[in-house]
Structure formats: C-alpha cells, structure tokens
Structure 1
Amino acid sequence: MTLWTLVLATIGGCYAFKLAGYLVPERILGRPAIRRVVELLPVALLAALVVVEAVASGRHLDWNGPRLAGFAVGALATWRRAPFLVVVVAAAATAALLRLVSR
C-alpha cells in the first residue's frame, strides 16, 4: 500500500464518518442522554489532545517543567474564566519565562 492510497482511504473514511453523522435520525438525537453525549464529546476530545500535547514529545512522555507549568497556568486561567487570549498569552509567557530562566 502506497502512502497516497493510505491518504485517499483516510479521506474517504473521514468523509463517510462525517456523512454518517448527518444520517442519524432525529428521534435518536432527540433523547436527552444522547444529546448530552453528542454535545460534550468534542470538548472531551479537545481536552485529551491538549493534555497529550502538554506531556508528550513524539512517542514518549516528556515531563518538561516549563511546558507543564504553562499548561497549569492556562488551566488555572481557564478555570477562573479568563478570556481565551489571556489564557494563551499567560500560558505561553509562563513557559517562555521558565525556559529563559532555566538556561
């Protein structure tokens, strides 16, 4: 299997998966429990991606101090309901300053 075959198969699979979401009957999505899961699933997936980016480097765990400190500051700012731009700048500034100090 060539790389392009794999890329095209992935594109087709993603399209089919997206199309399947539109074909789900309204009676199924109308149930409160299903609707709650559908609404919270993207948030859970995004949170998982953020955590993986915070503690992983390639295929290995990397408990990098500045990166984790920036993640913690960003999580704290999010918990305190700071605006998105403040969260990003605070996390980036924390990581940058700790990297600068640790050199």
Structure 2
Amino acid sequence: MIWWAVLGAGLGCYLLKLAGLSVPPAVLAHPVVSRVADLVPVALLAALVTVQVLAAPEGGALALDARVAALAFAVGLLWLRAPFLVVVFGSAAFAALLRLL
C-alpha cells in the first residue's frame, strides 16, 4: 500500500514540475509573477522552520523549549547581519548550551 503512495507522490511531483515548465514566457515576464516566484520559497522555508521549531516531539500541543530560544538567537544574529554559517552554528551552539543547562 505504501508503494502506491510513493509512486503517486512521485507522479504528482513530476506533473507539478511539468506544469511549471509549460508556463508561457510572457506570463513569467510579468513583474507580479516574478515577485511572487521570488517570495514563495522564502515563505515555504519560513513555514517549515516554524513547524519544526514549535512542534512537540510527541505531537499535540506547541512546544516552547530550547529550539524557540535558538530561533530567536538566530533572528538576532541575522538582524546583526552575521554570515549564514555563523547564524547556523551559533544558534545550534546556543540551543546545545540551553539544553545542557
């Protein structure tokens, strides 16, 4: 049963990619479409980060633990315009330090 779901998801991804490739260039040249296409990956990444930070490990309610504090620390580093690797490793170290305490 699970293989049908995997094959169906693979076919759906292929068809979605094919639909994106079949959009006429005139539509893609429109400024609004271009701006939305630039912002959609950022919104999806922000949604994934939010779900991973706030989701409880056993499911159910929201979890407020070291991950939330590490995310706030990462936002602070980004606000200070720190390099990406400094943000990633700094927030990971901050979360590890909080969990150690």
> Do the two structures share a fold, i.e. TM-score over 0.5?
yes
**Deviation per residue, 1:38-75 (Å, 9 max, x gap):** 111001100111111111125332111x1111111111
Query: What residue ranges of structure 1 are gaps of 5+ in the alignment?
Result: none
1:97 maps to 2:97:
yes
- Offset, 1:84: 1.1
Residue equivalent to 2:63 = 62
1:24 equivalent in structure 2? 23
Aligned CA-pair RMSD: 1.1
Runs of 4+ in 1 over 4 A off after TM superposition: none
For 1:80 and 1:19, locate their aligned partners in 2 and report how far apart those are by CA, in whole Å.
40
Residue 79 (str. 1) matches residue 79 (str. 2): yes
Q: 2 CA distance for matches of 1:83 and 1:19?
A: 36
- Alignment partners' CA distance in 2, 1:67 and 1:31: 39
Number of aligned residue pairs: 99
Q: Which amino acid aligns with 1:27?
A: A
Q: Which residue of 2 aligns with 1:37?
A: 36
- The CA distance in 1 between the partners of 2:80 and 2:23, in whole Å, is 37
TM-score, L = length of structure 1: 0.90
Tell me the TM-score normalised to structure 2 length.
Answer: 0.91
